[in-house]
């Protein structure tokens, strides 16, 4: 509710542009800052530990990213998956993008990749999309748990 009730950008900006401007990474659940993007916990997770890899520059399609931004985004996906594997020991992952509102993109003008840890026996993907979510940790606790693993090697 805190996120839902928070003021939204009036200039047509996106929350993804505001997150890296925060002075306190934990307050926005930002886990890692890289040169061209960042890793953040999803405030509306499909599963515990659901991360987003987000380029700093707002674009709506992969082809609009520079080669450096595309490589940086892939590096963030690798870092996020590795951090989740080390911290949470999931049995698998869903990793992907939603392009356009019709495909489920909540912020279509600023692409981002989802990294969702999965465990044998957790909810299948359809009930998760249908807002059936069982989360075992708060976002604050999950940030504390994941932060030490979000380092580049």
- With H, G, I as helix, E, B as strand and everything else as coil, classify residue 117: strand
Whether 112 is catalytic is yes
Partnered with residue 32 across adjacent β-strands are: 39
Give the pair of three-digit tokens for residue 22. 């925060």
Instruction: Write the secondary structure of 11-63 as one string of H (helix), E (strand) and C (coil).
Output: CCCCHHHHHHHCCCHHHHCEEEECCCEEEEECCCCCCCCCEEEEECCCCCCHH
Q: Calculate the dihedral angle through the C-alpha atoms of 95, 121, 46, 89, rounding to the nearest 10 degrees.
A: -60
Q: 32, 50, 110, 112: which one is catalytic? A: 112
Query: Which residues carry out catalysis?
Result: 112
């Amino acid at each position: 509710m805190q996120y839902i009730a928070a003021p939204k950008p009036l200039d047509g900006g996106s929350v993804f542009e505001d997150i890296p401007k925060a002075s306190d990474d934990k307050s926005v659940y930002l886990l890692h800052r890289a040169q061209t993007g960042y890793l953040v916990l999803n405030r509306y997770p499909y599963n515990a530990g659901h991360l987003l890899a987000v380029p700093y520059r707002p674009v709506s399609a992969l082809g609009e990213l520079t080669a450096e931004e595309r490589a940086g985004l892939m590096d963030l996906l690798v870092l996020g998956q590795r951090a989740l594997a080390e911290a949470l020991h999931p049995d698998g992952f869903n990793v992907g993008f939603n392009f356009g509102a019709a495909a489920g993109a909540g912020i279509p003008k600023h692409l981002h990749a989802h990294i969702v840890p999965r465990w044998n026996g957790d909810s299948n993907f359809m009930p998760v999309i249908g807002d059936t979510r069982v989360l075992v940790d708060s976002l604050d606790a999950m940030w504390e748990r994941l932060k030490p693993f979000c380092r580049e090697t």
